[in-house]
Amino acid sequence: MRYRTLGGLRVSAVGLGAMPLSIEGRPDEERALATVHAALDAGVTLLDTADSYHLPGAEPGHNERLVARALATYGGDTSDVLVATKGGRGRPAGDVWTVNGSPRHLKAAAEASRERLGVEAIGLYQLHKPDPAVPFEESVGALRELLDAGTIRLAGVSNADADQIRRAREILGDRLVSVQNRYSPAVRDSEPELRLCADLGLAFLPWSPLGGLSRSSLDGPSRTEGAELFAAFHAVAAERGVSPQQVGLAWLLARSPAIIPIPGASRPHTIRDSAAAADLLLTPEETARLDEATGGGARPAMATKA
């Protein structure tokens, strides 16, 4: 396993997005715990969760409690594992996700997450999504109060644009350490935010980092939207004797030292395969080939000083 830096901490270059273990189609608890344990066995030290990762209308925190149980039942050392959770979204009954970025809600949600995770302080706490009904500075101000109180150790924002990242940085300073936005070979809308994170020395945690590449591998890229794009990843995978998912994650890692992908998994073999991407070094020719397939663009470089 190779490593990257997040808030001054050394974490695995590939993390685990634990969301699939708690939402629709989730596995039974035995397989869910086995999946987290497989991630830890593979050297993964970044686990991403949220209080809203649960079935619609259910009690918040299913995924956080699951992650806590997985760490408690793991036979090895977990002292270097960073658990990142998020607050500010909800899943009431029905097919809907709500947003609540009020300081009162965020502070109560963080305290509840801390108790479910069974820790003195949450390693990384992230504003799940800016709330259009609440001034952004007030939501981020709640993160600052949580930091000052010692409820959380580090702070991040998710689904934020470049201007919001800059404003969060002004409020939190060096205690803002990460941005979690959607980014994948197929979805490059957060390219400006990635460049900004590289300039500021922030970790960029892409959610949904495969962007359909996993589904395309079931029957070949011709059966999935974005067939031409995915075909290049399948071709490189076949030449290297690895999965297209590994190539997709390795390509992300080659984009910028700021990137730490957090692919989801619901089976042990899936996260083992994803974790192996940390050690898959693409050649300059392969990265250029994949860059061209995804629309080109220079790879952002990590600033030497934030």
From residue 251, alpha-carbon distances to 21, 218, 297 in Å are 25, 20, 13
Packing angle, helices 244-255 and 268-276, rounded to 10 = 40
- Residue in 53, 74, 125, 183 annotated catalytic: 53
Gap between the Cα atoms of 303 and 281, Å rounded: 22
3 state SS of 276: helix
Contact 70, 78 (CB under 8 A): no
3 state SS of 170: helix
Ordered DSSP codes for 96-157: --EE---HHHHHHHHHHHHHHHT-SSEEEEEE-S--TTS-HHHHHHHHHHHHHHTSEEEEEE
Note if 74 is an active site residue: no
Of how many residues is the chain composed?
A: 306
> Cβ contacts of residue 72 below 8 Å, gap of 6+?
118
Gap between the Cα atoms of 173 and 267, Å rounded: 38
Residue 80 main-chain phi, psi, to 5 deg: -100, 10
- What residues are labeled active site? 53
